[in-house]
Structure 1
Amino acid sequence: MSADNRIIRVIKGRRPKVVVIGGGTGLPVIVKSLHEQNADVTAIVTVADDGGSSGIIRDYINVVPPGDIRNVLAALSDLPSLYLDIFQYRFNSKDAFFAGHAIGNLIIAALSEMKGGIFDAVQQLSQMLKVDGHVYPASNTPLTLNAEFTDGTTLSGEAEITGAGKHIQRVFVTESDLNAKEPPQAVNQVIDAIMNADVVVLGPGSLFTSILPNLMISNLGDAVKATKAEIIYIVNIMTQKGETEHFTDADHVRVLNRHLGEDFVDTVLVNIAPVPSDYLDHQKYDEYLVPVEHDYQGLRDLGCRVISADFLQLRNHGVFHDGDKVATEILNLAFQVGTMKKRRY
């Protein structure tokens, strides 16, 4: 849908302000659909990824991993598709240096060096890509994800954590620069966006490695608890190996609440469409296990409003959220709360 043909939806003369917090492949899908339905979108993207092209770049130069940020920039861009195809192009050359790298990742890494940090680099690139909305790295510096397991052991690094085969008790983030003297912090623009939002959306994405790394930045997590915006959690459709085996939807929310020390999630979006047992390619999507089971009473006990619907999209033998359907529900909630922000006590 082009910028000129978007659905025009406004709250008291303005577009609804939606902040989406997360990372991974699900984030740009939701962000793109919100953009096409005329939301004023701010995406706050995790900077603790250590895999793929992003991880390789991070190993060579001390920059925030750019992959998730690149995909969200493309999702919010109003440039013609040809330019975005070039930005998103990933080399398939056998050359050891370029193989597997996306051009956009290299541009983000270069701008980060030029601007002295990822935040200013992304704002400059947002102008170049004609981004409608805002893309904010959760931190201006690279972060390391750490996990404590139920057996008392700890590990650092997303790949190591999910590959450990253990049950995660909690996660936390630290500065990747071992010489850093201050704990990780989000910049003021991130905090302002959360405080001024109509709704704040968590996910969809990996609970421990895409969503919680953002909330574990202390001032960002505090802002999510303090904002008068509606807090919406998009429950994953499938459980995930190394993270959420045997989790119900209520278990996801319990983990979020435990990490922030209070019941802060207001609304959950739950998919109820069945996943065909023979559809998912478990070799291609080897991290996905089984559909998340529903515990509606558990969610209600946690003070959550539950919106259950067919949010399922099947494509390429993978299981995904239907971005358009999810965005519609998010905006319906934004209109409900946009004219009268709730009070938190």
Structure 2
Amino acid sequence: MKSPLESMPKVVVIGGGTGLPVILDKLKNEPVDITAVVTVADDGGSSGKLRECAGAVPPGDIRNVLVALSQLPKAQLDIFQHRFGASDGFLAGHPLGNLIITAISEKYGGISEAVATLSTLMHIKGHVFPASNDTLTLSASFTDGTRVSGESEITHANKLIKNLHLSVKNSDKIPMANSNVIDAILNADQIVLGPGSVFTSILPNLMIPNLKAAVLKSRAKVVYICNIMTQKGETDGLTDAEHVKILNDYLGAQVIDVVLVNQTEVPDMYIDKKKWDEISQPVEHDAKGLELQNCDCILDNFLKLENSGAFHDGEKVTQKLMHILGQEGK
């Protein structure tokens, strides 16, 4: 007889950045077996500093996912998320959780061991896996013929991306996902991509050869949560259909089965473009373009306005994911 966990639908969520935890925080309350696969190509902020000075696999995105799936009291999670102030010397800008993840990685021999240890200590609902045990470097070639290395450099180049390249930092090895990631994808009932940057949060995972192969082989329904806003220097002017096409092109097949698209107008006067300087304009809907990508589109109100920004409403997105799974109301 299967255990209650084994009988639950298996949902694998792949991505990084700030959008992923918004969905996971709500999805953990549903009767599903969650696996979060998190990018390890970040090289900005605290993660970038730890990556350089300690040779660490970037911990920032992993930290936020652990917190989103944790069942610890908020007070304990707030301590884990505490960020040292600008006057704190070499600690300035580092969240305590990033330092803890880096320390446990060093003590136990790698990022996967650190995540497994913290998953137990933080009472995680589901499973969290780094996309790779190696620190990955993302490089981009632009339409003007230039090329840069590093996720943060790509974001701030403010140029049209022609193609991406993924490599293991300081190595000729081919990037590889570990077996836990592959098994989760192959056994999934639903694979969720995003929300998050197409080029710097989602694709750094899908470009890992064996992870890509697993997605192509999986029988799971693949759902893409389209960004609400375009991103400067990355997706300026791209429609929802063009976002889907980029993902399908890198996967080498029309893999996206369903795309969730926000249809609620974003009030321009509400958005603080200085505070959220990476965003550009609302993503435009292209129904005919999505038909050409051979995917279903769910148009709905997924918008949550808060803190002078436009975000996904995790509760509403989760309801649609559950509906797609056929678990709504169960």
TM-score normalized by the length of structure 2:
0.95
CA distance in structure 1 between the partners assigned to 2:256 and 2:185 by the alignment: 14
- Give the match for residue 86 of structure 1: 79
Q: Which residue of 2 aligns with 1:58?
A: 51
Deviates more, 1:312-321 or 1:145-154: 145-154
Question: Which runs of structure 1 show a deviation greater than 6 angstroms over 4 or more consecutive aligned residues?
Answer: 10-13
Q: Is the 8 A contact 1:16 1:335 kept in 2?
A: no
Match in the other structure for 2:17: 24
> Which residue in the other structure is 1:323 paired with?
314
In structure 2, how many angstroms separate the alpha carbons of the residues matched to 1:189 and 1:204? 22
Aligned to 1:194: 185
- The residue that corresponds to 1:77 in the other structure is 70
Q: CA separation in 2, counterparts of 1:285 and 1:44?
A: 26
Q: Provide the residue aligned with 1:267 in structure 2.
A: 258
Q: Quick one: percent identity of the two aligned structures?
A: 56
Aligned length: 325
8 Å CA contact 1:170–1:259 kept in 2: the answer is: no
Q: Deviations over 1:90-149 (max 9, x none)?
A: 112512111111110000000111121111110111001111101100000100011122
Give me the whole-angstrom Cα distance separating, in 2, the residues matched to 1:324 and 1:318: 17
1: CA distance, partners of 2:92 / 2:319? 39
Aligned to 1:210: 201
1:148 aligns with 2:163: no
- Match of residue 296, structure 2, among 294, 305, 309: 305
Distance 1:100 1:39 in 2: 35
The one-letter amino acid of 1:312's match is L
TM-aligned CA deviation for residue 164 of structure 1: 1.7
Q: Deviations over 1:239-288 (max 9, x none)?
A: 10010011000000111111111111110000000001200000000111
Query: CA separation in 2, counterparts of 1:79 and 1:320?
Result: 25
CA distance in 1, matches of 2:4, 2:231: 37
Give the superposition deviation at 1:298.
Answer: 0.8
Alignment check: 8 A CA contact 1:87 1:104 kept: yes
Gaps of at least 5 residues in structure 2 are none
In the alignment, is residue 135 of structure 1 matched against residue 122 of structure 2? no
Q: 1:5 maps to what in 2?
A: none
Once residues 56 and 158 of structure 2 are traced to their aligned partners in structure 1, the CA distance between those partners, rounded to angstroms, is 29
Q: Which residue of 2 aligns with 1:103?
A: 96
* Per-residue deviation, 1:11: 9.8
Report the 3-state secondary structure (helix = DSSP H, G, I; strand = E; otherwise coil) of the residue aligned with 1:308. strand
Structure-1 separation of matches of 2:280 and 2:71: 36
Work out whether 1:120 is the aligned partner of 2:120.
no
Aligned partner (choices 223, 227, 248) of residue 257 of structure 1: 248
| 1:23 Cα deviation from its structure 2 partner | 0.4
Is residue 163 of structure 1 aligned with residue 141 of structure 2?
Answer: no
Instruction: Give the counterpart letter for 1:243 in structure 2.
Output: E
Spell out, residue by residue over 1:265-317, the C-alpha distance to the aligned partner (whole angstroms, 9 max, x if none): 11000000000120000000011111000001110111100011000000010
> Aligned to 1:173, what secondary structure does the other structure show?
strand
Separation in structure 2 between the aligned mates of residue 326 and residue 212 of structure 1, nearest angstrom: 21
Q: Secondary structure at the match of 2:266?
A: coil
Q: Which residue does the alignment assign to 2:165?
A: 172
**Deviation of residue 69 (structure 1)?**
0.3
Return the letter of the residue paired with 1:301: L
Distance 1:193 1:65 in 2: 22
Residues 93 and 208 (structure 1), Cα distance of their counterparts in 2 relative to 1, 3 Å cut: closer
Q: Which moved more, 1:121-130 or 1:31-40?
A: 31-40
Deviation (angstroms), 1:152: 3.2
Measured in 2, the distance between the counterparts of 1:316 and 1:264 equals 35
Alignment map for 1:276-295 (pairs within 5 Å): 276-295=267-286
- Write the deviation string for residues 130-186 of structure 1: whole angstroms up to 9, x where unpaired: 11101100000100011122233321011211222211012121001x2x3420100
Q: Classify the secondary structure of the residue corresponding to 1:97.
A: helix
Partner of 1:219: 210
Task: Write the distance in 1 (CA, Å) between the matches of 2:48 and 2:4.
Answer: 41
Distance 1:269 1:132 in 2: 24
User: How many Å separate the matches in 2 of 1:325 and 1:212?
Assistant: 25
Structure 1 runs not aligned, ≥5 long: 1-9, 337-345
* 1:35 to 2:12 alignment: no
How far off its partner does 1:12 sit? 11
Q: Distance between the aligned counterparts of 2:36 and 2:6, measured in 1?
A: 22
- Structure 2: distance between partners of 1:151 and 1:198: 41
Maintained 8 Å contact 1:194/1:223: yes
Q: Which moved more, 1:116-125 or 1:243-252?
A: 116-125
